[in-house]
Amino acid sequence: MIYPLVIDDNESNTVILPSSLKADGRTAVAFGSFLAPCTIISSSGPSDSIIVAGDVAQRLLIPFAAKVHVFLTDEAVHIGPLVGVFTAGFTKSPHRPVGGRSFFFAKLLAQEKQVGGFAFLFGLPHIDWEHGTVNGYFYTERGWERHTVPLPTVIYNRLPNRRIENDDMFQTVTKTLQTAYGIPVFNGRFFNKWEVYRRLAVHRDARPYLPETSAYVTRQTIEQFLNRYTGAYVKPADGSLGRGIYHLVKKKDAYECRFRDEHGETKTTLFPTAMALWHHLLTHAPLHRYVIQQAVPLITINGRPTDFRVHTNKNENGQWQVSAVAAKIAGRRSITTHMNSGGMVKTLEEIFPNTAKRETVLARLRDAALTLSRCLDETSDTLIGEIGFDFGVDEQGNIWMFEANSKPGRSIFKHPGLKEADERTALLPLAYAVHLSKTAIIDPEAFGL
C-alpha cells in the first residue's frame, strides 16, 4: 500500500502513522541509510497519511512530500524506498544532466509517482562518503532538481557501457556500496554472450532455444559450423548494436563473408578456403574475444529476415513478466536487424494481421522469454531485474535466442505503437526496486546483508 507523506513543520520530533499502522513501541524512523530516533504514534483519526515532523524530515534529508511505502521492523518505521539510479556521463547542464539520455531518465524517474517512493539519478562525483549522502538529480513537476539525500535503499545500475563499468573506480564504488553499506544493486553488469550461453547450456529448460555457439573461432570451427549449418555469425562476446559482426556462408566453391565496414556499408568478400577466411578475420578482429554462432534461417517479411526483441522485467513481487515485444526487420542487404543498419521496428499486429498466427508466435516468444529469464536468474550470482532478448523464429515456428542483454537499448520504443510498453518498461524497474527494498529491510539475510 502507498501512503501520502506529509511534512508538518508544526510538529516536533514526531512521526504520526495512519491508524492502520501500529507504532508498537517503535522508537525510530528510517529513510535510505539514515535513522532518526523520535516519537512514533498511530493516528486516532481516519487519515491515511504519514505525518513527519519538520525537524525529523530535516534530519533524515527527506527532500519533499510524496507517496511512499512503509516497511516495519521491530525497532523502526522505514519510509520510502529511496532508489538510486547509478550512471555516468553527467554534463553541466541543469536541464539535460546526462545529455541525450536525460529524456529517458526523466521518464524513468517520473514513474515514482505511480510506484511510490523516491527515485533519483547519481554518479560517482555526487557521493559524499564522509556524511553518507548523495547530491542527486530528482525529476519533478518543475523539471530537474538537485537534493541531498542519504545513501539509497537500493541501486539500479544504468552505467552506459562496458568500458565505464569495468573501470576500477566504478568497480570499487559499486562493491563498497554493496558490501560496506549493505545496499542491493540490480543489473550490476553487462552480459557476455559466451558467459550467457555457457550458463544456459547446462540448463535443461533453456537448451532447446540455443543455437550452437563456440568461444573458439578457429579454422576448424569455421569449417565445422559451415558444413553443419546454412551459415554462421562471428561476433564480439561483449559487443552491442550489431557492431563487428561477420556473416559467413559456404558457397559451392568459395566461402562468403559479409560485414559492415567503418563507413557502415555492407561489404561482401569471397575466399577460396576456410583458412583464407580465417586469416581475413584474424586481421580485422580480436577473435579471442569473439564467438561463432549457428545462423538460423529466419522468417521473412517482404523478403527481409525478421527477428524479435522481447523485454522481461521483474515486478513488484519479484516475479518475471514480459513487458514488451516488437519485430525487427532487416534493412536492405543488411546482415542484422539493428536500426543503425537500416532495420525497421514493427509491432506484431503490423506483421501478423492474422490473429491466430500472431497469438501463436506471441505465446511461444513469451514462453521462451520467461523460461530463459528464470534460467539466467537461477544461474546468476548478481541480482537481475530486466533482460532484453533477441529471438529468431524459423519457418517451423521454433524459437531461437541469439542474445540476452542486461541493459537493453530503447530504440524499439520510438515506434508509436509501443508507447504503453515504453512506459511499462520504465515503471517496472522501480516496482522491482520496491520489492528489493522491502526484502533488504525485512529480511536482509536474503542478500547476505
Q: What is the pLDDT of residues 400-417, one digit of tens each?
A: 999 999 999 888 999 999
Nearest partner of 143 among 113, 176, 175, 110, judged by Cα: 110
Which tops the pLDDT comparison, 227 or 446?
Answer: 227
- Kindly list the distances between the CA atom of residue 245 and the CA atoms of 45, 248, 289, in Å, as whole numbers in the listed order: 65, 10, 12
pLDDT > 70? residue 160: yes
* Phi, psi at 22, each rounded to 5°: -95, 135
Residue 285: per-residue pLDDT: 82
Which tops the pLDDT comparison, 341 or 346?
Answer: 346
Q: Grid coordinates 554472450 are at which residue?
A: 193
Alpha-carbon distance of 86 to 71, in angstroms, equals: 24
As annotated, the residues of the chain forming the CATH 3.40.50 domain(s) are 83-183
Residue 238: per-residue pLDDT: 84
Q: What is the pLDDT of residues 78-134, one digit of tens each?
A: 999 999 999 999 999 999 999 999 999 999 999 999 999 999 999 999 999 999 999
**What are the residues whose beta carbons fall under 8 Å from the beta carbon of 369, sequence distance 6 or more?**
310, 312, 322, 387, 389, 391
- Kindly list the distances between the CA atom of residue 149 and the CA atoms of 57, 61, 82, in Å, as whole numbers in the listed order: 11, 5, 9
**Residue 56 near residue 424 (C-beta atoms within 8 A):** no
Q: What is the 3-state secondary structure (H, E, C) of 18-77?
A: CCCCCCCCCCEEEECCEEEECEEEECCCCCCCEEEEHHHHHHHCCCCCEEEEEEECCCEE
* Phi, psi at 68, each rounded to 5°: -135, 165
Nearest partner of 153 among 185, 200, 106, judged by Cα: 185
Tally of CB atoms within 10 A around 6: 15
Is cis: bond before 81, omega within 30 of 0? yes
Residue 11: per-residue pLDDT: 93
**Residue 426 near residue 108 (C-beta atoms within 8 A):** yes
Sign of the Cα torsion 335, 341, 342, 344 reads: positive
**Arch. (CATH architecture) of 193-209+297-440:** 2-Layer Sandwich (3.30)
3-state SS, residue 133: strand
Band (pLDDT 50/70/90 cuts) for residue 445 is: confident
pLDDT > 60? residue 329: yes
Question: If you average pLDDT over residues 171-182, what whole number do you get?
Answer: 94
In 3-state terms the chain splits into helix, strand, coil percentages (rounded to 5) of: 30, 30, 35
Residue 448: per-residue pLDDT: 56
Residue 430: per-residue pLDDT: 97
In the sheet where 39-42 sits, what is the strand order?
34-37, 28-31, 76-80, 66-72, 3-8, 50-53, 14-17, 39-42
pTM of the predicted structure, to 2 decimals: 0.93
What does the mean pLDDT of the chain come to?
A: 93
Question: If you average pLDDT over residues 345-363, what whole number do you get?
Answer: 96
As annotated, the residues of the chain forming the CATH 3.30.470.20 domain(s) are 193-209+297-440
pLDDT > 70? residue 328: yes
Identify the bridge partners of residue 236 per DSSP, sorted by sequence position: 290
Domain 83-183 CATH (choose: 3.30.70, 3.40.50, 3.30.420, 1.10.150): 3.40.50
Q: What is the pLDDT of residues 237-280, one digit of tens each?
A: 887 656 788 999 999 889 999 988 777 788 899 999 999 999 88
Band (pLDDT 50/70/90 cuts) for residue 333 is: low
Burial 311-329 (b: 16+ CB within 10 A, else e): bbbbbbebebbbbbbbbbb
Sign of the Cα torsion 29, 34, 35, 36 reads: negative
pLDDT > 70? residue 209: yes
